[in-house]
Structure 1
Amino acid sequence: MTTTISAPGGLKRLTTAFGGAILALFLAAFGALVMPAAAHADPTALQYSADNSTWGDMSLIPDFQGELIPGGELTTTFYAKNPTSQGGTLQVYLGNWTKTAPDMQAYVRVEVNDASGAIVDLTNNLAAPGTELQSTHLGAGQTAKVMLVVGMPAEAGNESQNQSVNPDFALDFEQDAAAVATTTTLTGPATANSTTAFELTATVAPAGATGTVQFKDNGAIIGNPVPLTNGVAKRTQILTTAGAHSITAVYNGADGFIASTSEALTVTVTTTPVEPGTGSAGSSSGSLGDLGSIFGS
């Protein structure tokens, strides 16, 4: 069994042949014994485990066990973990598979997190190496359960006796494009009156950033997140409690952009006596009055 690597930028690349997870089926009187295989190099970004507890290289992937007969399947299950800080897509492929007789009947499939991919028929050389069997996205630190399956159709005949097949399962992990770091800047007045609205402006760079900004007062959320428009989110606000307020703008991040928080802006609020019978601006609690956002609420 060999490891095959196609040129970067190719369609579906076969980066690594599984080790203990690769099987050789040796058929005898309709019995197929799965023979263990030596481990090959694995994608360096991933870790593997047989029990979702002890992690290491591909030597921890269990070998296939048992005997394959018409109408039966052999499986091996392991876990793959993304220990990096960057997400990516785990993909399982049919490798440069071989078998000793073109009309020998066998098929393969792969389950990832209990979701099965399509059944790929290996009879009469119909399947092309590099066929994707199943995939899933793994965020930073996430784990996937992978089950490799080799089966024999119930109608398999004498042509499958005393033959062998090696699907040469292959694995790839394509990391997501690196997320862009952002900076968030908050502007607003240094002072405000408890009965007068003022504007807070958060600017997120680079300007192509998408998503929302959450404004906070002394760590407490002010209203709903405000969507960015051309990198800017604005909020019109009344603060009814006298004293210094530490205002921050938290950019929540989005696909391709990393979250960031502005430096605190101190707004000192002074109170103005309210004439009897005129009421008071602000919330019923007297702490925050929210006029909403220019862009959303």
Structure 2
Amino acid sequence: MTIEQAKDLDMVDYLSRLGHQPTKISEPHYWYISPLRPDEKTPSFKINRVMNKWKDWGSGDSGNIIDFGVQYHKCSVKDFLQKLDANTPTTRPAIPQSDSPAESEITIRQVKPITSIPLIHYIRQRGIPMDIAERYLKEINYNLKGKNYYALGFKNDAGGYELRNKYIKASSAPKTSTFIDNKTDQLAVFEGFFNFLTYRAMHRDETKNPTNYLVLNSLSFFNGNMSRMTAHNHVRLFLDNDKSGDKFTKQALTSDCQKFSDERKLYAHYKDLNEWVLNITPQQKQQHQQQHRSP
């Protein structure tokens, strides 16, 4: 991997891969307990996701992902690029639990069926039928810095939740992917749960062409799920139409072009599957569903 290629990596996703989650998000700023000074108690490490740069206000250090990686792993630029290129584990030795900072300041207070009118309106704005939403989502009441909020929650395999409403995009710890096992050898992979729900709304009949589902909840979990993906006979990738989606789709196709397929041609001129559905006509949607039903 070259220096320029490394600089294109999303720092928020990279820190997530290392096990560090933001304690506060105020777009485009993501705040962390400093990964470079894990004994601190107050979050002082900030990533500007638009600029893809970081600053540690506790130490005064700042820079790009390479500057961070060299400090974090205590290695040379060449060694850090080799770590990225080889996709080798890049975690530090575990810190004793008593000294570990909290992964997130979000505390789940209540999990219940969806009843909030603003959340119901938001679901409809995203083009998701309520029966589909109620099957996979919950209404989550949570606490952040002493204040109570509510959002739609999509549960992951570790018991954490992806949290969404009209104004926020957040996660509760622990953060990981979500696997839905329908006992088949087919798999459909999505970055986020709204694209998964969109697909489920488009293909309601699970008895015809049944499939398992993997919702990554972050592309940082793509490589960690490779063994799960390759255990299936066919893997259909519904990633976003952006640089990151291009990268991981190409990586999968290069590893096995017979097993993996790129499904993004369906929504080629849109960011993702959900955006495509929100912009096509009812006739186009009906035509696609008829094509899917045909032998």
TM-score range for the pair, normalised by the shorter chain length: under 0.3
Q: Larger C-alpha radius of gyration, 1 or 2?
A: 1
**Which is richer in helix?**
2
TM-score using structure 1 length: 0.20
